[in-house]
Structures are given as structure tokens and as C-alpha cells.
Amino acid sequence: MEVIMIAKRKFFSAKRVTGLAVLLALVIVLQLWGNNIKIGATGLSFVLVPIVLGGVLFGPSAGAFLGLVFGFITLMYGVTGADPFTAVLFAEHPFLTSAVCLVKGTAAGLAAGLLFRLIEKKNGYVGVFVASAAAPVVNTGLFILGALLMSDTLSANFVADGSTVLYFLIIGCAGINFLVELAINLMLSPAMYSVIRVVSGRKTQ
């Protein structure tokens, strides 16, 4: 029982709660702002940066939580019609669209946190780079897999004659976004992580 209480105090420490609150605010602001910047059919996910930082600094559960919030906001854009692409998918496949939105963000944050923990002891910076790359890979990969299950809706509403759903998803929808998001994560996450480590007084490898 004492071990459990110590674990709970550590999990809900003031430093952790404050840090998560700041990152949560960044997730909300960046997702609301990023949805207005379109490349293809979807918005850019600058929000992956604080999600990765949450997983790196506070563990996989924090990354997963922040990713879940990101997914929930994405889903709400579809429910309210603010994002026409997600709205069309939600109208015809509400359960599957909800699952894709929530799972892809959660899995991206979880993967970032887990991979960092696996690599951190050998090299912290390499761990951050791997975590930063993993988040957009998982986020985009699950999006494409989920969207393929709704290929009937995509074909009827978005795919041009003579093209294929997979081509639309990779080239016209997610491909450019993925490359931009990957570049943003690789450039910003390690730099932000280094600053936070210095400010917090924790040593980096």
C-alpha cells in the first residue's frame, strides 16, 4: 500500500501536473490554430510537438493523454462540420471515424514515450529524435489504415476519376502533411527538449 501511495504522489506531483497543464494548453492552441492551415484535405499537426514532449518528459501515459486530447479535438471538428473532410467521414462512418481520430493521436503519444524510455539510457538525444519521428509515423500510418476502411466514402466524395483511394491518401491527403510534420518534429522537439532539460536542471547525454 505504501508503494502505491508513493507512486500516486509521484504521478500527481506539482511539477508533473504543471508541466502537463502547459503542454495541454499548447496541444489545444496548436490544434485549433493548425487546423486552419491546410495542405491537401487535412490540417497540419504542429500539435505533435507538445505530445512528443509530454511523452519524453513525463512518460508514455502523459504522451497518450495529450494525444487523446488531440484526437478528441480532431473528432469535434468533424462532428461540428468545422473540418469538411472529417465531417464527411463521420457522417457515414461515425464509429470508425471516432475510433481513428482518438486512437491515432493516443498511439502517437504512447509510442513516443515508450521509444524514448527504451533508448534514453543509451543516448537521450537519439531517444528524442526517434520519439519525434515515431509520432508522425504512427499518427499518419493509423490515419491511412483507418481511412482505407472507409474507401467507399472517400471514392464517392474526394477521389478524382482515374485515381485510387490509396494514391489520394498518400499523395493528395497525408503525404505532404506527413513530411512537413516529420520535419517540424525533428527540428523543434529536440531543441525544446534540450531547453527544458537545462531549465529543469536535468542532465542530458
3-state secondary structure at position 32: helix
Q: What is the pLDDT of residue 117?
A: 92
Q: How many helices (H) and strands (E) does the chain have?
A: 10, 2
Phi–psi pair at 38, nearest 5 degrees: -100, 135
What is the widest separation between alpha-carbon atoms in the chain? Answer: 65
What is the pLDDT confidence band of residue 2, given thresholds at 50, 70 and 90?
very low
What pTM was computed for the model?
Answer: 0.84
Element (H, E) at 43: strand 42-43
CB 39 within 8 A of CB 170: no
Break the chain into its structural domains and give their ranges: 2-200
Helix (H, G, I), strand (E, B) or coil at 93: coil
pLDDT above 90 (res 151) = no
> Cα 109 vs. chain centroid, distance in angstroms?
6
pLDDT computed for residue 165 by the predictor: 75
pLDDT at residue 123, rounded to an integer:
84
Q: What is the pLDDT of residues 157-203, one digit of tens each?
A: 777 665 677 777 777 667 777 888 888 888 887 787 776 676 556 55
Query: If you average pLDDT over residues 133-153, what whole number do you get?
Result: 90
- What is the per-residue pLDDT for 5? 40
Task: Please give the helix or strand (H or E) that residue 129 lies within, else none.
Answer: helix 124-148
Instruction: Report d(CA 151, CA 157) in Å as an integer.
Output: 10
CATH class, range 2-200: mainly alpha
At 36-82, the pLDDT tens digits run: 565 555 556 688 999 999 999 899 999 999 999 999 999 999 999 88
Helix (H, G, I), strand (E, B) or coil at 122: coil
Q: How far is CA 98 from CA 74, 86, 118, 147, 164, in A?
A: 9, 10, 30, 11, 24
Interval 10-35: pLDDT, tens: 555 777 788 899 999 999 998 887 65
